[in-house]
């Protein structure tokens, strides 16, 4: 299977040379659970052409510093591509901005939250367990986060899979449209999260807030488990075709 990763953002310039870019992070996350997976990256934020849908096995939309409500030349083409992929039944996964972009393309309301920034380790309550969500022996899971935008309504036909008080629409399954999306970052290690927060130490975030967020990530998160879920979803979709 080939996973086409739509790169919608990059790590901040200050730490860009110290860490893999987002497509590489996702390949490292998913490939151990999906033997034979190959990945290609399309930097859509550079206004390149979108690939032909009939040549794609599956799509993943990465995180980004952009907001879905911002006026970027690549934003509306991205939404159109997501809708076309849904109509063509090409499986899609979205993470953080990708979560918001798929939800917005499917009709959800996405805005900058009045709750402010979510940082550190967030715990989500599971509302429903679809078939791809295997290996979870409790009713919660956790991921590192970095976001202030949020999905604020459920797209028509979608199911709410997980939520928290801070993030009421944290994981979605889009039902008849073969797509799932996550607000948290399973591709981010604790080290990368802390590097990301420290870029804004003393500006957007107080030193105490950064320290608190980094301390919370000393408790393990469920990146590997969510990587397995993504692989399960992709395998399940391939078996249906």
* pTM (predicted TM-score): 0.97
pLDDT for residue 241 is more than 80:
no
**Residue 23: per-residue pLDDT:** 98
pLDDT for res 217: 98
Q: How many CB atoms lie within 10 A of CB 231?
A: 21
Domains in the chain: boundaries: 2-114+148-187+222-240
pLDDT in tens, 131-183: 999 999 999 999 999 999 999 999 999 999 999 999 999 999 999 999 999 99
Class of domain 2-114+148-187+222-240 as given by CATH? alpha beta
> Where does the pLDDT of residue 224 fall: very low under 50, low under 70, confident under 90, or very high at 90 and above?
very high
Tens digit of pLDDT for each residue in 169-189?
Answer: 999 999 999 999 999 999 999
- Percent above pLDDT 70 for the chain: 100
Helices (H) and strands (E) in the chain, counts: 6, 11
Q: Let me know: does 38 contact 2? Beta carbons within 8 Å.
A: yes
Report, as an integer, the average pLDDT of 216-241.
94
Nearest CA to 127 out of 91, 169, 166 is that of 169
């Amino acid at each position: 299977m080939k996973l086409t990763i739509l790169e919608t953002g990059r790590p901040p310039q200050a730490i860009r040379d110290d860490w893999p870019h987002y497509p590489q992070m996702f390949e490292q996350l998913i490939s151990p659970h999906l033997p034979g997976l190959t990945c290609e990256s399309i930097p859509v934020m550079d206004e390149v052409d979108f690939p032909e849908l009939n040549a794609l096995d599956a799509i993943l939309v990465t995180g980004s510093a952009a907001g879905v409500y911002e006026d970027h030349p690549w934003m509306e083409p991205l939404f159109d591509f997501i809708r076309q992929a849904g109509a063509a039944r090409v499986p899609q996964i979205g993470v953080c901005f990708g979560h918001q972009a798929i939800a917005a393309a499917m009709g959800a309301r996405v805005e900058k939250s009045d709750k402010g920034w979510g940082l550190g380790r967030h715990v989500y309550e599971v509302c429903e367990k679809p078939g791809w969500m295997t290996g979870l022996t409790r009713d919660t899971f956790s991921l590192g986060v970095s976001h202030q935008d949020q999905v604020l309504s459920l797209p028509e036909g979608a199911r709410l899979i997980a939520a928290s008080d801070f993030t009421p629409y944290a994981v979605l399954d889009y039902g008849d449209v073969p797509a799932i999306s996550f607000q948290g970052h399973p591709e981010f290690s604790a080290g990368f999260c802390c590097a990301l927060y420290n870029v804004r130490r003393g500006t957007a975030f107080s030193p105490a807030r950064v320290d608190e967020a980094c301390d919370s990530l000393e408790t393990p998160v469920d990146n590997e488990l969510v990587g397995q879920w993504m692989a399960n979803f992709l395998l399940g979709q391939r078996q249906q075709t």
